[in-house]
Amino acid sequence: MKTGDRTQESGVDIARPAFPRLSPVTCLLFCVACLLLAGCASLDSLSSPFRRTPPRPGRTSLGEKLVIVPTKAIGNFLIVEAKWDRYGPYHFLVDTGSSVTLVTPALAKRYASKDAPPADAPRVRVLSADGRTTELAPTTLRQLELGQARFDDVFALVYDCAALSAHLGIKIDGILGFPLFRETLLTLDYPHARVLLQSTRSLAAIPGTAIPLHDASKTPLISLRLGDRTFVALIDSGSDAPLSLNPVGLDPSFASAPRTGATVGTLTGERPQHIGRLAETLTIGDHRLPRPIVDLTDELSALGGEILKNFSVTFDQEHDRVYFHRDTRDVIVSPPRRSAGVSFSKTPAYWRIAGVVPGSPADTAEIKPGDLVTHLNGEPVAKWELHRYEQLVASSATIAFRFLEGVHDKVKDVPVFDLVP
Protein backbone atom coordinates (compact mmCIF):
# COMPACT_ATOMS: atom_id res chain seq x y z
CA MET A 1 0.00 0.00 0.00
CA LYS A 2 2.27 2.43 0.51
CA THR A 3 5.70 2.98 1.12
CA GLY A 4 7.38 0.84 -0.93
CA ASP A 5 9.74 -0.06 1.51
CA ARG A 6 8.18 -0.51 4.71
CA THR A 7 9.48 -3.52 6.34
CA GLN A 8 9.60 -5.58 9.24
CA GLU A 9 9.71 -3.31 11.88
CA SER A 10 9.69 -2.98 15.47
CA GLY A 11 12.55 -5.25 15.57
CA VAL A 12 10.58 -8.09 14.21
CA ASP A 13 12.37 -9.88 11.46
CA ILE A 14 9.40 -10.93 9.41
CA ALA A 15 9.04 -9.97 5.80
CA ARG A 16 5.63 -8.58 5.13
CA PRO A 17 3.44 -8.61 2.17
CA ALA A 18 3.65 -5.77 -0.13
CA PHE A 19 0.40 -4.00 -0.51
CA PRO A 20 -0.63 -1.83 -3.24
CA ARG A 21 -0.24 1.14 -1.39
CA LEU A 22 -1.64 3.38 -3.34
CA SER A 23 0.00 6.27 -2.17
CA PRO A 24 2.01 8.19 -4.57
CA VAL A 25 5.20 8.11 -3.06
CA THR A 26 5.70 4.73 -2.75
CA CYS A 27 6.54 2.49 -5.24
CA LEU A 28 6.54 -0.51 -3.28
CA LEU A 29 3.59 -1.12 -1.36
CA PHE A 30 3.25 -2.77 1.72
CA CYS A 31 6.17 -3.65 3.61
CA VAL A 32 5.41 -6.92 4.85
CA ALA A 33 6.22 -8.81 1.98
CA CYS A 34 3.00 -8.05 0.70
CA LEU A 35 1.59 -5.13 2.20
CA LEU A 36 2.93 -2.37 3.92
CA LEU A 37 2.08 0.53 2.16
CA ALA A 38 3.88 2.12 -0.22
CA GLY A 39 2.49 2.94 -3.22
CA CYS A 40 3.78 3.07 -6.12
CA ALA A 41 5.39 3.46 -8.83
CA SER A 42 5.56 1.46 -11.54
CA LEU A 43 1.96 0.84 -11.11
CA ASP A 44 0.90 2.01 -14.39
CA SER A 45 -2.10 3.79 -13.66
CA LEU A 46 -1.88 5.06 -10.32
CA SER A 47 -1.77 8.56 -11.28
CA SER A 48 -0.32 9.58 -8.08
CA PRO A 49 -2.60 11.09 -5.54
CA PHE A 50 -0.34 14.05 -5.55
CA ARG A 51 -1.72 14.84 -8.95
CA ARG A 52 -5.28 13.64 -8.60
CA THR A 53 -7.65 13.88 -5.68
CA PRO A 54 -8.42 10.37 -4.35
CA PRO A 55 -12.01 9.14 -4.58
CA ARG A 56 -14.32 10.57 -1.95
CA PRO A 57 -15.63 8.20 0.72
CA GLY A 58 -19.29 8.33 -0.23
CA ARG A 59 -21.78 9.10 2.52
CA THR A 60 -20.50 9.05 6.09
CA SER A 61 -22.78 9.05 9.13
CA LEU A 62 -21.92 8.87 12.83
CA GLY A 63 -24.43 7.45 15.30
CA GLU A 64 -22.76 9.25 18.23
CA LYS A 65 -20.79 12.46 18.73
CA LEU A 66 -17.74 10.38 19.58
CA VAL A 67 -17.46 6.92 18.07
CA ILE A 68 -14.90 4.66 19.75
CA VAL A 69 -14.11 1.78 17.42
CA PRO A 70 -13.03 -1.57 18.95
CA THR A 71 -9.30 -1.80 18.22
CA LYS A 72 -6.42 -4.20 18.71
CA ALA A 73 -2.76 -3.17 18.76
CA ILE A 74 -0.69 -5.78 16.93
CA GLY A 75 2.96 -4.89 16.63
CA ASN A 76 2.96 -1.23 15.61
CA PHE A 77 -0.38 -1.49 13.82
CA LEU A 78 -3.89 -0.58 14.91
CA ILE A 79 -6.44 -3.16 13.74
CA VAL A 80 -10.09 -2.13 14.03
CA GLU A 81 -12.83 -4.68 14.55
CA ALA A 82 -16.31 -4.32 13.09
CA LYS A 83 -19.45 -6.45 13.19
CA TRP A 84 -22.55 -5.34 11.37
CA ASP A 85 -23.83 -8.64 9.97
CA ARG A 86 -23.84 -12.34 10.78
CA TYR A 87 -20.53 -12.90 8.99
CA GLY A 88 -18.41 -10.68 11.20
CA PRO A 89 -16.44 -9.69 13.07
CA TYR A 90 -14.29 -8.15 10.35
CA HIS A 91 -10.79 -6.80 10.93
CA PHE A 92 -9.26 -3.86 9.07
CA LEU A 93 -5.85 -2.24 9.21
CA VAL A 94 -6.00 1.57 9.22
CA ASP A 95 -3.50 2.87 6.68
CA THR A 96 -3.09 6.62 6.42
CA GLY A 97 -0.37 6.13 3.82
CA SER A 98 -2.78 4.56 1.34
CA SER A 99 -4.88 6.63 -1.03
CA VAL A 100 -7.38 3.82 -1.54
CA THR A 101 -9.22 1.21 0.52
CA LEU A 102 -8.56 -2.48 -0.17
CA VAL A 103 -10.96 -5.31 0.66
CA THR A 104 -10.81 -9.08 0.31
CA PRO A 105 -12.63 -10.87 -2.52
CA ALA A 106 -15.10 -12.34 0.00
CA LEU A 107 -16.08 -8.94 1.41
CA ALA A 108 -16.26 -7.42 -2.06
CA LYS A 109 -18.58 -10.18 -3.25
CA ARG A 110 -20.83 -9.83 -0.21
CA TYR A 111 -21.23 -6.05 -0.36
CA ALA A 112 -20.52 -5.01 -3.95
CA SER A 113 -22.92 -2.39 -5.22
CA LYS A 114 -24.91 -3.02 -8.39
CA ASP A 115 -23.54 0.25 -9.72
CA ALA A 116 -20.40 0.07 -11.82
CA PRO A 117 -17.16 1.43 -10.28
CA PRO A 118 -16.14 4.95 -11.38
CA ALA A 119 -15.00 5.16 -14.98
CA ASP A 120 -11.75 6.78 -13.89
CA ALA A 121 -11.01 4.16 -11.21
CA PRO A 122 -7.24 3.63 -10.90
CA ARG A 123 -5.77 0.55 -12.54
CA VAL A 124 -3.27 -1.01 -10.18
CA ARG A 125 -1.04 -3.94 -11.07
CA VAL A 126 0.67 -6.03 -8.41
CA LEU A 127 2.74 -9.19 -8.29
CA SER A 128 0.69 -12.26 -7.45
CA ALA A 129 1.91 -15.16 -5.31
CA ASP A 130 3.12 -17.01 -8.43
CA GLY A 131 5.23 -14.05 -9.51
CA ARG A 132 2.91 -12.95 -12.30
CA THR A 133 1.49 -9.48 -12.70
CA THR A 134 -2.20 -9.09 -11.96
CA GLU A 135 -4.50 -6.09 -11.93
CA LEU A 136 -6.63 -5.33 -8.88
CA ALA A 137 -10.34 -5.15 -9.69
CA PRO A 138 -12.23 -1.99 -8.61
CA THR A 139 -15.48 -2.25 -6.71
CA THR A 140 -17.93 -0.08 -4.77
CA LEU A 141 -19.14 -1.38 -1.40
CA ARG A 142 -22.74 -0.64 -0.48
CA GLN A 143 -21.69 -0.14 3.12
CA LEU A 144 -18.94 -0.54 5.66
CA GLU A 145 -19.52 0.01 9.38
CA LEU A 146 -17.07 0.72 12.19
CA GLY A 147 -19.03 0.67 15.41
CA GLN A 148 -21.53 3.55 15.20
CA ALA A 149 -19.87 4.95 12.09
CA ARG A 150 -21.30 3.99 8.71
CA PHE A 151 -19.72 4.56 5.31
CA ASP A 152 -21.89 4.05 2.22
CA ASP A 153 -20.80 3.67 -1.42
CA VAL A 154 -17.14 3.08 -0.60
CA PHE A 155 -14.78 2.80 -3.57
CA ALA A 156 -12.22 0.02 -3.06
CA LEU A 157 -9.85 -2.32 -4.83
CA VAL A 158 -10.09 -6.08 -4.35
CA TYR A 159 -6.97 -7.58 -2.77
CA ASP A 160 -6.18 -10.94 -1.19
CA CYS A 161 -5.01 -10.20 2.37
CA ALA A 162 -3.93 -13.78 3.13
CA ALA A 163 -0.21 -12.92 3.43
CA LEU A 164 -0.93 -10.00 5.74
CA SER A 165 -3.26 -12.16 7.82
CA ALA A 166 -0.53 -14.78 8.21
CA HIS A 167 1.99 -12.14 9.23
CA LEU A 168 -0.25 -10.53 11.86
CA GLY A 169 -1.81 -13.76 13.10
CA ILE A 170 -5.38 -12.51 12.61
CA LYS A 171 -7.71 -12.65 9.61
CA ILE A 172 -7.57 -9.27 7.88
CA ASP A 173 -10.56 -8.31 5.72
CA GLY A 174 -9.19 -5.08 4.31
CA ILE A 175 -7.01 -2.00 4.58
CA LEU A 176 -8.76 1.31 5.18
CA GLY A 177 -7.16 4.11 3.18
CA PHE A 178 -6.92 7.74 4.23
CA PRO A 179 -9.71 9.10 1.96
CA LEU A 180 -12.31 6.95 3.73
CA PHE A 181 -12.08 9.31 6.71
CA ARG A 182 -12.35 12.53 4.70
CA GLU A 183 -15.57 13.58 6.43
CA THR A 184 -14.53 12.77 10.00
CA LEU A 185 -11.93 13.68 12.57
CA LEU A 186 -9.86 10.49 12.75
CA THR A 187 -7.80 9.84 15.89
CA LEU A 188 -5.28 7.01 16.07
CA ASP A 189 -4.68 6.75 19.81
CA TYR A 190 -1.72 4.39 19.93
CA PRO A 191 -0.97 4.56 23.69
CA HIS A 192 -4.54 3.48 24.52
CA ALA A 193 -5.02 1.23 21.46
CA ARG A 194 -8.10 3.16 20.28
CA VAL A 195 -9.47 4.57 17.06
CA LEU A 196 -11.85 7.50 17.54
CA LEU A 197 -14.16 9.15 15.00
CA GLN A 198 -15.87 12.52 15.43
CA SER A 199 -17.77 14.94 13.26
CA THR A 200 -15.65 17.61 11.58
CA ARG A 201 -18.12 20.05 13.16
CA SER A 202 -17.21 18.93 16.65
CA LEU A 203 -16.62 21.82 19.02
CA ALA A 204 -14.39 19.79 21.33
CA ALA A 205 -10.81 21.03 21.59
CA ILE A 206 -8.30 18.69 19.95
CA PRO A 207 -5.31 18.03 22.22
CA GLY A 208 -1.78 18.22 20.94
CA THR A 209 0.44 20.21 18.62
CA ALA A 210 -1.20 21.20 15.32
CA ILE A 211 0.91 20.68 12.19
CA PRO A 212 -0.32 21.77 8.74
CA LEU A 213 -0.86 19.13 6.09
CA HIS A 214 1.05 19.97 2.93
CA ASP A 215 -0.92 18.46 0.11
CA ALA A 216 -4.12 19.86 -1.36
CA SER A 217 -5.24 16.36 -2.39
CA LYS A 218 -5.54 15.43 1.29
CA THR A 219 -2.43 13.28 1.51
CA PRO A 220 -1.02 13.31 5.07
CA LEU A 221 2.30 15.02 4.35
CA ILE A 222 3.88 17.16 7.06
CA SER A 223 7.13 19.04 7.64
CA LEU A 224 9.65 17.57 10.09
CA ARG A 225 13.02 18.83 11.24
CA LEU A 226 16.28 16.94 11.38
CA GLY A 227 18.72 19.07 13.29
CA ASP A 228 18.32 22.48 11.65
CA ARG A 229 16.98 21.16 8.30
CA THR A 230 13.36 20.73 7.29
CA PHE A 231 11.96 17.94 5.12
CA VAL A 232 8.57 16.52 4.19
CA ALA A 233 7.35 13.08 5.29
CA LEU A 234 4.24 10.95 4.89
CA ILE A 235 2.35 9.86 8.03
CA ASP A 236 2.12 6.15 7.32
CA SER A 237 0.15 4.09 9.84
CA GLY A 238 0.24 1.17 7.42
CA SER A 239 3.94 0.69 8.07
CA ASP A 240 5.37 -0.56 11.33
CA ALA A 241 8.77 0.92 10.48
CA PRO A 242 10.37 3.80 12.40
CA LEU A 243 11.41 6.74 10.16
CA SER A 244 11.96 5.80 6.53
CA LEU A 245 14.32 8.54 5.46
CA ASN A 246 15.30 9.73 2.00
CA PRO A 247 18.71 11.32 2.74
CA VAL A 248 18.92 13.37 -0.47
CA GLY A 249 19.55 17.02 0.41
CA LEU A 250 19.74 16.31 4.15
CA ASP A 251 23.26 14.91 4.47
CA PRO A 252 22.40 13.21 7.79
CA SER A 253 25.08 12.25 10.29
CA PHE A 254 24.97 8.83 11.95
CA ALA A 255 25.78 7.54 15.42
CA SER A 256 25.57 4.00 14.02
CA ALA A 257 26.32 3.77 10.32
CA PRO A 258 23.60 2.24 8.09
CA ARG A 259 24.01 -1.49 7.53
CA THR A 260 22.12 -4.17 5.68
CA GLY A 261 19.22 -5.42 7.75
CA ALA A 262 16.15 -7.52 7.16
CA THR A 263 14.83 -8.47 3.74
CA VAL A 264 11.52 -6.80 3.04
CA GLY A 265 8.94 -7.55 0.38
CA THR A 266 7.46 -4.93 -1.91
CA LEU A 267 5.28 -4.86 -4.96
CA THR A 268 8.31 -4.78 -7.15
CA GLY A 269 10.20 -7.54 -5.38
CA GLU A 270 12.30 -7.98 -2.26
CA ARG A 271 14.90 -5.55 -1.00
CA PRO A 272 17.25 -5.39 1.99
CA GLN A 273 16.83 -2.73 4.65
CA HIS A 274 19.58 -0.17 5.10
CA ILE A 275 19.15 0.67 8.74
CA GLY A 276 21.13 2.81 11.17
CA ARG A 277 20.89 5.36 13.99
CA LEU A 278 21.09 9.09 13.38
CA ALA A 279 23.37 11.28 15.47
CA GLU A 280 20.87 14.16 15.28
CA THR A 281 17.46 14.96 16.76
CA LEU A 282 14.20 14.48 14.84
CA THR A 283 11.53 17.06 15.73
CA ILE A 284 7.79 16.54 15.11
CA GLY A 285 6.03 19.78 15.99
CA ASP A 286 7.39 20.42 19.49
CA HIS A 287 8.21 16.76 20.19
CA ARG A 288 11.86 15.68 20.09
CA LEU A 289 13.28 12.27 19.23
CA PRO A 290 17.05 12.23 19.78
CA ARG A 291 19.10 9.80 17.68
CA PRO A 292 16.21 7.90 16.06
CA ILE A 293 16.66 4.66 14.14
CA VAL A 294 16.04 5.13 10.42
CA ASP A 295 15.60 2.93 7.38
CA LEU A 296 17.09 4.66 4.32
CA THR A 297 14.91 4.80 1.21
CA ASP A 298 14.96 6.38 -2.22
CA GLU A 299 11.22 7.01 -1.95
CA LEU A 300 9.41 9.70 0.00
CA SER A 301 10.35 9.89 3.67
CA ALA A 302 7.67 8.49 5.99
CA LEU A 303 6.81 8.19 9.69
CA GLY A 304 5.83 4.59 10.46
CA GLY A 305 4.14 2.93 13.41
CA GLU A 306 7.31 2.51 15.45
CA ILE A 307 7.36 6.30 15.94
CA LEU A 308 3.61 6.94 15.73
CA LYS A 309 3.00 4.49 18.61
CA ASN A 310 4.25 7.18 21.00
CA PHE A 311 1.38 9.53 20.09
CA SER A 312 -2.31 10.06 19.78
CA VAL A 313 -2.60 11.42 16.23
CA THR A 314 -5.72 13.29 15.07
CA PHE A 315 -6.28 14.03 11.37
CA ASP A 316 -8.48 17.00 10.48
CA GLN A 317 -8.71 16.76 6.71
CA GLU A 318 -11.31 19.52 6.43
CA HIS A 319 -8.87 22.07 7.86
CA ASP A 320 -5.69 20.46 6.46
CA ARG A 321 -3.95 19.78 9.75
CA VAL A 322 -2.92 16.97 12.06
CA TYR A 323 -2.39 16.97 15.83
CA PHE A 324 0.32 15.04 17.69
CA HIS A 325 -0.36 14.55 21.41
CA ARG A 326 1.46 12.80 24.26
CA ASP A 327 0.50 12.60 27.91
CA THR A 328 4.11 13.25 28.85
CA ARG A 329 6.74 15.73 27.70
CA ASP A 330 9.54 13.23 28.21
CA VAL A 331 11.97 12.79 25.35
CA ILE A 332 11.16 9.78 23.17
CA VAL A 333 13.91 7.15 23.37
CA SER A 334 14.67 4.70 20.53
CA PRO A 335 16.03 1.50 22.10
CA PRO A 336 18.56 -0.71 20.26
CA ARG A 337 17.14 -2.73 17.36
CA ARG A 338 17.65 -6.38 18.21
CA SER A 339 17.56 -9.11 15.59
CA ALA A 340 17.92 -12.83 15.11
CA GLY A 341 19.45 -12.05 11.72
CA VAL A 342 16.68 -13.66 9.66
CA SER A 343 13.50 -12.50 7.93
CA PHE A 344 10.50 -14.71 7.23
CA SER A 345 7.54 -15.18 5.02
CA LYS A 346 4.91 -17.01 7.09
CA THR A 347 2.40 -19.80 6.72
CA PRO A 348 0.64 -21.63 9.58
CA ALA A 349 2.84 -24.73 9.15
CA TYR A 350 6.25 -23.15 8.61
CA TRP A 351 8.15 -19.91 8.18
CA ARG A 352 10.28 -19.67 5.07
CA ILE A 353 13.56 -17.77 5.41
CA ALA A 354 13.26 -14.72 3.14
CA GLY A 355 16.63 -13.18 3.95
CA VAL A 356 19.67 -13.39 6.21
CA VAL A 357 21.53 -10.37 7.58
CA PRO A 358 25.09 -10.47 6.19
CA GLY A 359 27.72 -11.05 8.88
CA SER A 360 25.12 -11.98 11.52
CA PRO A 361 25.27 -15.10 13.70
CA ALA A 362 22.52 -16.57 11.48
CA ASP A 363 24.77 -16.04 8.47
CA THR A 364 27.66 -17.71 10.30
CA ALA A 365 25.33 -20.65 11.09
CA GLU A 366 24.83 -21.05 7.32
CA ILE A 367 21.10 -20.37 7.40
CA LYS A 368 19.98 -19.71 3.82
CA PRO A 369 16.98 -18.07 2.08
CA GLY A 370 14.39 -20.74 1.36
CA ASP A 371 15.11 -22.77 4.51
CA LEU A 372 11.94 -23.83 6.34
CA VAL A 373 11.51 -23.18 10.08
CA THR A 374 8.97 -25.42 11.84
CA HIS A 375 9.64 -24.69 15.53
CA LEU A 376 11.01 -21.91 17.74
CA ASN A 377 12.38 -22.93 21.13
CA GLY A 378 10.61 -26.29 20.72
CA GLU A 379 7.16 -24.86 19.93
CA PRO A 380 5.48 -24.97 16.48
CA VAL A 381 5.68 -21.67 14.61
CA ALA A 382 1.87 -21.50 14.61
CA LYS A 383 2.07 -20.63 18.32
CA TRP A 384 4.35 -17.66 17.72
CA GLU A 385 2.06 -14.77 16.88
CA LEU A 386 3.68 -11.45 16.04
CA HIS A 387 3.76 -9.82 19.47
CA ARG A 388 5.08 -12.94 21.16
CA TYR A 389 7.88 -13.28 18.64
CA GLU A 390 8.77 -9.60 19.08
CA GLN A 391 9.09 -10.16 22.82
CA LEU A 392 11.26 -13.22 22.21
CA VAL A 393 13.69 -11.25 20.05
CA ALA A 394 13.72 -8.35 22.52
CA SER A 395 14.45 -10.47 25.59
CA SER A 396 16.39 -13.57 24.51
CA ALA A 397 20.10 -14.15 24.13
CA THR A 398 19.59 -17.17 21.84
CA ILE A 399 16.71 -18.66 19.86
CA ALA A 400 16.54 -22.33 18.89
CA PHE A 401 15.29 -22.66 15.30
CA ARG A 402 14.24 -26.11 14.09
CA PHE A 403 14.63 -26.47 10.34
CA LEU A 404 13.04 -29.04 8.06
CA GLU A 405 15.72 -30.69 5.93
CA GLY A 406 14.14 -33.32 3.71
CA VAL A 407 12.49 -35.81 6.06
CA HIS A 408 14.70 -34.77 8.99
CA ASP A 409 14.77 -31.87 11.43
CA LYS A 410 17.82 -29.92 12.48
CA VAL A 411 18.02 -27.46 15.37
CA LYS A 412 20.31 -24.43 15.23
CA ASP A 413 20.81 -22.17 18.26
CA VAL A 414 21.11 -18.63 16.88
CA PRO A 415 22.34 -15.74 19.08
CA VAL A 416 20.23 -12.58 19.08
CA PHE A 417 22.29 -9.40 18.59
CA ASP A 418 21.94 -5.63 18.35
CA LEU A 419 21.46 -4.92 14.68
CA VAL A 420 21.49 -1.20 15.54
CA PRO A 421 23.03 -0.37 18.95
Domain of 141, CATH number, reads 2.40.70.10
Cβ neighbours of 334 (radius 10 Å)? 20
Give me the pLDDT at residue 11, please.
Answer: 37
Domain termination residue (choose one: 136, 167, 199): 199
The domain boundary residue, chosen from 175, 199, 223: 199
Residues 6+ apart with CB under 8 A from 169: 74, 385, 386
Determine the average pLDDT of the residues in 114-137.
Answer: 75
- Beta-bridged to residue 321, according to DSSP, are 212, 316
Show the domain range for 166: 59-199
Cα(416)–Cα(339) distance, rounded to whole angstroms? Answer: 6
* pLDDT band, residue 48 (cuts 50/70/90): very low
Within-domain flag for 229:
no
Contacts of 141 (CB under 8 A, 6+ apart): 103, 107, 108, 111, 112, 113, 151, 153, 154, 156
CB 294 within 8 A of CB 277: yes
> Do the domain assignments include residue 209?
no
Last residue of a domain, one of 150, 181, 199: 199
For residue 379, pLDDT over 80 is answered with: yes
Q: Is 371:365 a contact under the CB 8 Å cutoff?
A: no
Across 90-116, average pLDDT: 93
Partners of 338 in the β-ladder: 418
Q: How far apart are CA 55 and CA 51, in angstroms?
A: 13
User: What percent of the chain shows pLDDT beyond 70?
Assistant: 83
* Residue, of 206 and 55, whose pLDDT is higher: 206
Q: Following CA atoms 300, 301, 302, 306 in sequence, which dihedral angle do they give, to the nearest 10 degrees?
A: 140
The answer to whether 212 touches 275, Cβ cutoff 8 Å, is: no
pLDDT in tens, 210-241: 999 987 677 899 999 999 999 999 999 999 89
pLDDT at 355 over 70: yes
Position 416 in a domain: yes
Does residue 76 register a pLDDT over 60? Answer: yes
Number of C-beta neighbours around residue 153 at 10 A: 16
Residue 3 lies in a domain: no
User: What b/e sequence results for 53-90 when a residue is b if at least 16 CB atoms lie within 10 Å of its CB, and e otherwise?
Assistant: ebbebbebebeeeebbbbbebbbbbbbbbbeeeeeeeb
Give the number of domains in the chain: 2
pLDDT > 90? residue 135: no
Classify residue 21: in a domain, yes or no: no
Q: Which residues pair with 197 in a beta bridge?
A: 67, 186
Pairwise CA distance, residues 278 & 245, whole Å? 10
Query: Would 165 be classed as within a structural domain?
Result: yes
One-letter identity of residue 77:
F
Q: How many CB atoms lie within 10 A of CB 409?
A: 11
pLDDT (tens digit per residue) in 19-31:
444 433 333 333 3
Report if residue 147 sits inside a domain.
yes
Q: Taking all residues of the chain, what is their mean pLDDT, rounded to a whole number?
A: 84
Residue 393 is part of a domain; what is its CATH number? Answer: 2.30.42.10
Looking at the domain assignment, is residue 344 inside a domain? Answer: yes
